Amino acid sequence: MSHFYPDDAAIARLGNAFLDRTLPKAEWTHAAHFATTLWLIAARPEIVAERDMPALIRAYNASVGGVNDDHTGYHETITQASIRAARAFLVERPHDEPLHEAVDALMAGPLGRSDWPLAYWTRERLFSVEARRGWIAPDLPAFPF
């Protein structure tokens, strides 16, 4: 199994750099998205991921020169699906498991693939303007999260 972060402190640094908008764009990887989401859920209960992540991601994207429009940047359906998946994953893990080990386990499974949503949405539906702007239900097998 791959190891993405050496310890929980590294994930906290990642999460705080995301929140502070000091995280270099090159470090905002698929693993970093999930590690940050798991950290927010586990360690920052005052931040409600489903409510707060849209604005946080848009602000982060803008801080690194990104654009949030109908074709690039923030994507509501992928974000909300990822939060749901992360919450469901975390609930199934041992409560005393170090977060960096949970990240490694998540990344070793189906969610570790950046194209994991395509198991539930057709490409056309997932990458539509409607899906980018708001939540749309999957159009393939039942979304388990």
Instruction: Tell me if 44 sits within 8 A of 144, measured CB to CB.
Output: no
Within a domain: 142? no
Confidence (pTM): 0.96
Within a domain: 39? yes
Within a domain: 102? yes
Please state the domain count of the chain: 1
Instruction: Tell me if 11 sits within 8 A of 100, measured CB to CB.
Output: yes
Within a domain: 139? no
Amino acid occupying residue 34: F
108-131: average pLDDT? 98
Within a domain: 140? no
20-47: average pLDDT? 98
Within a domain: 41? yes
Within a domain: 81? yes
Domain range spanning residue 98?
Answer: 8-133
| Residue 119 to residue 102: CA distance in whole angstroms | 22
26-33: average pLDDT? 98
| Residue 66 to residue 27: CA distance in whole angstroms | 14
Split at pLDDT 50, 70, 90, the class of 1 is confident
Within a domain: 115? yes
Split at pLDDT 50, 70, 90, the class of 20 is very high
